[in-house]
């Protein structure tokens, strides 16, 4: 049942935009599609009524601004007249920014994962007029996507009512599967969860190059954090410390990290971390900075601490929003603070993947023309020999300061000075290229960032000011907890209602800042938690947002953590911490069913911190 079932105006040089609704969007991702020949609509539940009237399904295409394959699919398919004709005739095309409509995106991801076994972005899902997902496809080349659309259109024409019924029954079956995953396990079975978790992690751990899996690699910061916390508590197996060291060393010195600027790319297509897709996400920077700072302290690795601090320097320098980044309707935080960009695009202003980060020989020569020892700088950043990328060298970890001192017969202090001057010259040259950014100010991501800045400011006071600015704006937007927005700096009608993630991440950020500075933010964090319990909890668990946008979106007692923290795990841990300070939290916590379900056992890595919290409580 759950198996995948297998014109406005064309984009010409005219002053009238093809998709004015896209042009007016607060999402840079949607604005990218303003001149597509596809008649895109922005998501609105009212579109389901339009679909029923016209007896056409929705084709919901979800992605985000910095996503490499989202740009590729736009160029190959969404700007293609043949694809546009198919979409406009047989579907109501809907474009979604996953960071603005997070709960909808999460539901479609779960559907695609359940029906196809894997998922990702861009995610394209056919949804019936009743709101039930029918089938979906992630990135596909133009001809393959055309075949997908033709197949669905033919089947809808031949048996429209049967396909609608199929989607409805498939949604019911998926919901039933999720509900079964929520059924509590026996105490004896639950007691074995830590061993199930460690066995699953060890099976997928790459003990040579770090990380998980043997092909495309993401950092999976929540999993690494769980491992680090278990190691700190003396609960981790004896293989974990070495695995963490290998992973953090490999990620920190490879192409996954922008070793010149200090930030991290989202993932690598190669198991050695050296072929990134150049997407830079604020939420990744926040989590990885926290991880390197905590791990550096625990393992007494000053170099890891430096990586964490450099990561946040990158955020402050390259992701800070300026006045001209925000639209006329935008507001700013206290003291004129404008926040940080949600992401930096993988595609530069000339449409080249990685163009802002890669160095052709002529650009490298020009940038270092005034440097006394350009070969030393190239050796430090690993820009010697053959380049992996057609556009040029990607700076990465090369020779160490000690190795360079020996190689160039210089004192190490002199080498360090020359490296620093070379870095400054390269960064200055790179800034002239421009880094296309998604200027949305994500509330939840700033909560994650505040947690990292709280740690960083303990190491170096240069991060204190940034931490205070983030904290002040979060406190301002959280002044009325039930009005917390998902986007900061916008009028309420554009800012959107905060999701469960937003509440959890902001509460955690305020809690972490308060715990190191006694800033008096605990009451604010508690108020956010109380509101989260009230707005998102129902008889089945927690919803992702106050009102589910589609039928079949059931609540879960324990939300997973893959690339970002689980909101329910954070909420439960903080709630338990403050039981005696809030009767509301105490009552809610005591009434909540904390018995893990089979879904936790089936995906133990996705619930790593939850499982270890259960073990800690026992």
What is the tens place of the pLDDT at every residue in 296-322? Answer: 999 999 999 999 999 999 999 999 997
Predicted local distance difference test score (pLDDT) of residue 4? 38
CA dihedral 361, 367, 369, 375 (to 10 degrees): -60
> Using 50, 70 and 90 to split pLDDT, how confident is the model at 326?
low
Residue 461: what pLDDT?
Answer: 95
What percent of the chain has a predicted confidence (pLDDT) above 70?
Answer: 96
> For all residues of the chain together, what is the average pLDDT?
93
pLDDT in tens, 434-479: 778 999 999 999 999 999 999 999 999 999 999 999 999 999 999 9
**Alpha helix stretches (DSSP H) within 300-442:** 302-318, 361-367, 374-380, 401-408, 412-431
Q: What is the arithmetic mean of pLDDT over 567-580?
A: 98
pTM of the model: 0.93
CA distance 451 to 106: 24
* Sign (positive or negative) of CA dihedral 553, 571, 558, 117: positive
In the chain, the largest separation of any two C-alpha atoms, in whole Å, equals: 79
**Does residue 16 surpass a pLDDT of 60?**
no
- Contact assessment for residue 607 and residue 220, using Cβ atoms and an 8 Å cutoff: no
Provide mean pLDDT across the span 536-545. 94
Task: Look at strands 92-97 and 41-42 and give their pairing.
Answer: parallel
Average pLDDT over residues 119-141: 96
- Nearest CA to 311 among 248, 355, 244, 363? 248
Q: Give me the pLDDT at residue 459, please.
A: 97
Position 574 scores a pLDDT of 98
């Amino acid at each position: 049942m759950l198996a995948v079932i297998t014109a406005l105006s064309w984009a010409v040089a005219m002053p009238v935009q093809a998709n004015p609704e896209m042009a007016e969007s607060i999402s840079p991702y949607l604005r990218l599609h303003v001149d597509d020949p596809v008649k895109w609509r922005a998501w609105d539940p009212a579109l389901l009524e339009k679909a029923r009237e016209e007896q056409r399904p929705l084709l919901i295409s979800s992605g985000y601004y910095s996503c490499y394959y989202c740009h590729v699919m736009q160029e190959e398919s969404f700007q293609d007249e043949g694809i546009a004709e198919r979409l406009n005739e047989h579907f109501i095309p809907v474009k979604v920014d996953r960071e603005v409509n997070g709960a909808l995106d999460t539901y479609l991801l779960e559907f695609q994962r359940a029906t196809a076994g894997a998922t990702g972005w861009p995610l394209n899902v056919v949804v019936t007029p009743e709101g039930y997902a029918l089938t979906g496809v992630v990135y596909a080349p133009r001809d393959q996507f055309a075949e997908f659309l033709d197949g669905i259109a033919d089947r809808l024409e031949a048996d429209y009512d049967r396909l609608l019924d199929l989607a409805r029954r498939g949604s019911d079956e998926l919901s039933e599967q999720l509900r079964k995953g929520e059924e509590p396990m026996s105490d004896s079975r639950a007691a074995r969860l830590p061993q199930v978790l460690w066995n699953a992690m060890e099976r997928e751990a790459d003990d040579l190059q770090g990380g998980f899996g043997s092909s495309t690699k993401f950092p999976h910061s929540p999993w690494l954090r769980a491992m680090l916390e278990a190691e700190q508590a003396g609960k981790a197996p004896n293989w974990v410390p070495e695995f963490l060291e290998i992973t953090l060393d490999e990620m920190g010195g490879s192409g996954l990290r922008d070793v010149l600027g200090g930030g991290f790319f989202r993932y690598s297509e190669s198991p050695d971390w050296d072929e990134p897709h150049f997407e830079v996400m604020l939420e990744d920077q926040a989590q990885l900075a926290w991880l390197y700072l905590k791990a550096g302290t625990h393992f007494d690795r000053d170099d890891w601490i430096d990586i964490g601090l450099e990561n946040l320097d990158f955020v402050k320098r390259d992701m800070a929003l300026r006045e001209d980044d925000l639209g006329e309707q935008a507001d700013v935080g206290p003291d004129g603070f404008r926040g940080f960009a949600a992401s930096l695009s993988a595609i530069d202003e000339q449409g080249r993947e990685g163009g802002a980060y890669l160095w052709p020989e002529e650009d490298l020569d020009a940038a270092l023309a005034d440097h006394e020892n350009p070969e030393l700088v190239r050796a430090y950043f690993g820009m010697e020999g053959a380049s992996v990328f057609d556009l040029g060298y990607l700076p990465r970890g090369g020779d160490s300061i000690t190795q360079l001192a020996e190689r160039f017969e210089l004192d190490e202090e002199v080498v360090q000075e020359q490296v620093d001057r070379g870095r400054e010259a390269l960064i200055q040259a790179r800034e002239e290229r421009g880094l296309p950014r998604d200027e949305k100010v994500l509330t939840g991501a700033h909560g994650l960032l505040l947690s990292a800045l709280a740690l960083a400011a303990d190491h170096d006071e240069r991060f204190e000011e940034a931490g205070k600015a983030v904290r002040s704006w979060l406190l301002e937007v959280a002044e009325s907890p039930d009005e917390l927005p998902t986007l900061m700096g916008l009028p309420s009608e554009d800012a959107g209602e905060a999701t469960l993630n937003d509440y959890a991440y902001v509460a955690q950020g305020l809690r972490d800042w308060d715990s190191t500075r006694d800033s008096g933010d605990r009451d604010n964090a508690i108020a956010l938690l109380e509101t989260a319990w009230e707005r998102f909890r129902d008889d089945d668990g927690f919803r992702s947002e106050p009102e589910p946008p589609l039928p079949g979106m059931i609540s879960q007692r324990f939300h997973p953590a893959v690339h970002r923290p689980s909101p329910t795990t954070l909420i439960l841990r903080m709630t338990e911490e403050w039981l005696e300070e809030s009767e509301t939290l105490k009552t809610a916590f005591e009434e909540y069913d904390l018995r893990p379900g089979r879904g936790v056992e089936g995906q133990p890595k996705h619930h790593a911190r939850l499982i270890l919290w259960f073990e800690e409580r026992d």
